[in-house]
Each structure stands twice: as C-alpha cells, then as structure tokens.
Amino acid sequence: MDEIAFLKKVHEEEITELQAQIQYNQISVEMDMFSKPDLFALLKDICTQYEKLAAKNMKNAKKWFKSHFTMLTENAAKNTEAVRTAKDKVSESHLLKAKTLEIEPCWGMNEVLEKQLQELEDKQNTNISAMQDTINKLENDHVQDEQIEVEETIEAAKAKEAKDEPPSEGEDEEEEKEKEEPKEEEGEEEEEGAKEEFEDTKEEEGGEGEGEDAQEADDEKKDEGAGEEQATKKKD
C-alpha cells in the first residue's frame, strides 16, 4: 500500500510539472510565433525533458522500492526469527509443564522411598549392633573355652609327669598287694569249684571208695592250706 501511494504521488507530481511546463512552453510558443515559429523543435524538447524526468523518477522509485524491500525483508526475517523463538519458548513451556506433571507423582514416591530407606538403615544398624553383641559374647565364650582347655592341658601334663616319675617303696608295695588280691580271689574260686566237682563225683560213686575219697579230701585240704600259706607269705 505504501508503494502504490508513493507511485501515485510521484505520478501526480510529474503530471503537475508537465502541465506547468506545457503552459510555459505554450506561452513561449505564442511569444515565439511572432518572432520564430518552430513547433517541431519545441515538441521535441518537451519530449526530451519529459523522458529525462520520467527516467529520474523511475530511478528514484526503484531506489526507494529496493531500499524498502530490503528493509521489509530484514524486518520479515527478524519477525520470522522472533516468531520461531516464541514458538520454541512455547514448546519448551509445554514440554516443561508436561515433564512437571510427570515428575509430580515421582516426588511423593521419592519421599516414600527415602522414608523406607531410613527405616531400613535404622533396622540394619540395630541388626549390626545385635550381631556385634553376639560376636563379643562368642569371643568371650571362646576365650573362656581356651582358658579351660589350657588349664586342662596343664593338668593333663602334670598328671602325665606324675605318672612318668618312678614310684616310691610304699607305692610299690601297694601296687603288688593290689595285683595279688585278684590272684587270691581266683585261687579261692578254683578251690570252690574243685570242691563242688568232688562232691558231685562222690554222690555219683555212692559209697564206693570211701577210704580213697577221704584220703583225697585230706590231700586237697592240705593243698589248700599250703596255698593259703603261700598267699599269706606273699602278702607279708
């Protein structure tokens, strides 16, 4: 619209200027008609002036159009960049809003997880404390067991040393007596068994060989008496 108005204004100025020149030329022609009438040359001069003026106006119009077109192009580019920037900001705003809506549920979940983590840490600390107490107790028990084991080892070593030492005379006599007592008990058991066998044999044979049996019985009694005397001597 600005370009059309400008061209229209230029055209009107040209027409006004031409009309003024025509009037001036008419006056000049009328004045020259009396002196030197040359209408063809006058018209040619008018056409030349008109062409020069038109060329000048066209040049100015092109220059103005070019400058304004460049300015409008630059403004359009700036506006396009501004529009693009505004669109980017709007897109970023929408994206930020969408992400905010997506993150909002995560905040509550994060708080719950942090609370659970704190509870888990407290529970773990409690378990660690209990385990440490158990470890200390086991270490104390182990130390006590080691002390008992060391004491038992020392006592066993002392007992072994006492056993390896040569026994005294009184201890030798006691050991011999302890060894002889089982032997005497075995001899008595053998004598009782022999008596029982003798009685059984005597009952079976009846009255036969009573004199021989009596003699044998006397011999056995003598043998028993001799065995008892020997045992008594050994004890002494």
pLDDT tens by residue, 148-171: 888 888 888 888 777 776 555 555
Q: Which residue has the tokens 């020069």?
A: 52
The beta strands (E) that lie in the chain are given as none
| pLDDT of 143 | 83
Enumerate residues 6+ apart whose C-beta is below 8 A from 224. 191
At 23 the three-state DSSP class reads helix
Each residue's pLDDT tens digit, 38-93? 677 878 888 888 888 888 888 888 888 888 888 888 888 888 888 888 888 998 88
Q: How many domains does the chain have?
A: 1
Residue 131 lies in a domain: no
pLDDT band at 119 (very low <50, low <70, confident <90, very high): very high
The secondary structure of residue 221, as a DSSP letter, is H
Residue 17 lies in a domain: yes
Domain that holds residue 46: 2-113
Is the overall model pTM greater than 0.75, yes or no? Answer: no
d(C-alpha 205, C-alpha 213), whole Å: 10
Write the DSSP assignment of 99-165 as a string of letters.
HHHHHHHHHHHHHHHHHHHHHHHHHHHHHHHHHHHHHHHHHHHHHHHHHHHHHHHHHHHHHHHHHHS
End-to-end CA distance of the chain: 161
Phi-psi region of 85 (alpha: psi -120 to 50; beta: other; left: phi over 0): alpha
Residue 19 lies in a domain: yes
Residue 156 lies in a domain: no
Each residue's pLDDT tens digit, 188-231? 666 666 666 656 665 555 544 445 555 555 666 556 555 555 54
Residue 56 lies in a domain: yes
